Structure 1
Amino acid sequence: MSTIDEDKPFIPVRIAVLTVSDSRDLSQDRSGDTLVARLEGAGHQLADRKILRDERSEIAAQLRAWCADDSVDVVISTGGTGLTGRDVTVEAHRDVYEKEIDAFGTVFTIVSMGKIGTSAVQSRATGGVANGTYMFALPGSPGACKDAWDEILEKQLDYRHRPCNFVEILPRLDEHHRRK
């Protein structure tokens, strides 16, 4: 069972939030607001925040820019993970990933099943790693962002979480780039 090891220090990570939407701006971005409130409430730092239209090349370019930025450890996007023609966030993420975190989508589906039943099959939430940066694509609803954060990301982005977590291996994510 997972636990928090209170003998270890909390290590804040720097998280960029990307909302993908053809119709929202910052004043209407409830999903982005949900993520920012939760990450800051947990003690992490908001590294950057943007809203982009559902354009695969633009999303991938922003993901690559954040992955190249040493001040960003994690990118969380919201929106564009569904099945319609304009939903291209998952493809943009996969254009950038070096490694996909396959179990992230599976665990998100399990969490979602408890909340929305079989409608969970319509989400294509995904996670991956590129250039030493974690990336997660979440659905565009505040509820889905809340569920992903509360049930998965808050725990995995806490260095004290046992038996393991994403933060403890963060320094090793790009070790293949350093090999001679």
Structure 2
Amino acid sequence: MTRDFIPVRIAVLTVSDTRTLTEDRSGQTLVDRLQAAGHTLAAREILPDERDRIAAQLRAWCADPRIDVILSTGGTGLTGRDVTVEAHRDVYEKEIDAFGTLFTHVSIAKIGTSAVQSRATGGVAQGTYLFALPGSTGACKDAWDEILVHQLDYRHMPCNFVEIMPRLDEHLRRK
């Protein structure tokens, strides 16, 4: 059985107190890769490391029927200003625990024990996938090239995120 590719609509959020759109290499890396894979860039923003503002943007995008997936980059480390993971978890209905585990596994192969400092995470809210990636360009490449490009491709077997997308919010529908 051959499946046709189904493009998904992806929003990219860069979390940084200092970057501008022209300096946002990690966000641009994600944009370039998602578009090269055949997906659509649905929205792109840069926000400072402020938990409430990040969570508000995530909620707004989750409520937007034109967005299927949100990728954020930055703010997943251990410093006091790194609050992206907390903002994501404020929004999640369900966390995709294995995403962080798999990302750590991929990172260990690239950066060894330094992978312990990443808190990459994934989850689902309002029928939308959300992934918080580190702010480094290399980490964004690794997350996309090793995990997301496959899981966001309907043709990937034995299973993928796209094929269950219509059922992510089934608990909200009347029976």
Into which bin does the TM-score normalised by the smaller protein fall?
over 0.9
Shift of 1:24: 0.2
Residue of structure 1 equivalent to 2:101: 106
- Quick one: distance in 2 between partners of 1:132 and 1:69? 10
1:53 aligns with 2:48: yes
Shift of 1:153: 0.2
In structure 1, the residue corresponding to 2:42 is in which secondary structure? strand
Residue of structure 2 equivalent to 1:19: 14
- Quick one: distance in 2 between partners of 1:177 and 1:52? 30
Residue of structure 1 equivalent to 2:127: 132
**Aligned AA for 2:154?**
Y
Q: Say which of 22, 28, 52 aligns to 1:33.
A: 28
In structure 1, the residue corresponding to 2:99 is in which secondary structure? helix
In structure 2, the residue corresponding to 1:162 is in which secondary structure? coil
The root-mean-square deviation of aligned C-alpha atoms, in Å, is 0.7
**Aligned AA for 1:115?**
K
- Quick one: distance in 1 between partners of 2:171 and 2:55? 22
- Quick one: distance in 1 between partners of 2:86 and 2:173? 27
Shift of 1:179: 3.1
Q: TM-score, structure 1 length as denominator?
A: 0.96
In structure 1, the residue corresponding to 2:22 is in which secondary structure? helix
Shift of 1:49: 0.2
Q: TM-score, structure 2 length as denominator?
A: 0.99
**Aligned AA for 2:133?**
L
Q: Percent identity?
A: 80
- Quick one: distance in 2 between partners of 1:153 and 1:147? 9
1:37-72 CA distance string (max 9 Å, x none): 000000000000000000000000000000000000
- Quick one: distance in 1 between partners of 2:116 and 2:133? 13
1:134-178 CA distance string (max 9 Å, x none): 000000000000000000000000000000000000000000011
Gaps of 5+ in 1: none
Shift of 1:26: 0.2
1:171 aligns with 2:166: yes
Residue of structure 1 equivalent to 2:146: 151
- Quick one: distance in 1 between partners of 2:64 and 2:71? 15
Gaps of 5+ in 2: none
1:86-133 CA distance string (max 9 Å, x none): 000000000000000000000000000000000000000000000000
In structure 2, the residue corresponding to 1:95 is in which secondary structure? helix
